[in-house]
Amino acid sequence: MTAEPAAGAPTGHGPAADAPTGLAALLDPPGIAPPSWTATVIGCGNLLRGDDGVGPVLIRHLAAVGVPADVRLVDGGTAGLDTAFAMRGARRVLIVDAARTGAVPGTIHRVPADQLAAADPPPAGTPPVGTPSLATLPQPHAVRWDQALVFARWLLGADFPTDIVVYLIEAGCLDPGADLTPAVRRSMERVQTMILNDLATSVDLTAGDHDA
């Protein structure tokens, strides 16, 4: 005589057996498919502190001009570690934020995230030169990129995007209530064009994958 499984007990087949476990179980409630995006653009910063708001302002501009349907726009604000959740499900992630490295306001730094995370701290007192590293990149927020990316890598595991690029725009004025300075606004428009071109390439490559 064989024992029958109790009513409602998992049998090794069907949804119960295929249900996600661990962190995935918390991120994907039963019956809800995980998100999937060709690209996600995250704008970080504080809209109430002048040039620090360049990231969220850019997200609004991109929403106004329009992006492909499979591109997600995220106003990351000053949430810091919360941006890790916004990265999930994206093949590519583009992050825009303000920075203060001592360069001329409006200077644009386009840096692959792995390069930022791998940068070695310079000796104490060394002025920032060339590509900024995390150690020479005082951001207007409490959470640094290395912390957010390390947290995202732990949180998302195999779902952590491998193609992440950070656009940093050198801030000039961070006064409360101030608008973007002209130099930063012009650079934001340049970054917007760069991102739109980048997104068009991403979508074309994805379409080619589907057609193959």
pLDDT in tens, 109-139: 988 766 655 444 434 443 333 344 443 444 5
> For every one of its 212 residues, what pLDDT tens digit does the chain have, with 9 covering 90 and above?
445 444 444 444 444 445 554 555 566 666 666 678 999 999 988 999 999 999 999 999 999 999 999 999 999 888 777 788 888 889 999 999 999 888 999 999 988 766 655 444 434 443 333 344 443 444 555 555 557 777 888 888 888 888 899 899 999 999 999 999 999 999 999 999 999 998 887 655 555 444 44
Q: Which two tokens stand for residue 5?
A: 């499984």
182-211 and 54-65 helices, crossing angle to 10°:
50
Q: How many CB atoms lie within 10 A of CB 210?
A: 6
56/75 Cα distance (integer angstroms): 5
pLDDT of residue 128: 37
Instruction: Please state the domain extents for the chain.
Output: 34-120+130-211
The reply to whether the predicted model has a pTM over 0.75 is no
pLDDT of residue 136: 42
| CATH superfamily assigned to domain 34-120+130-211 | HybD-like (3.40.50.1450)
Write down the mean pLDDT value for the chain.
75
**Each residue's pLDDT tens digit, 161-187:** 888 998 999 999 999 999 999 999 999
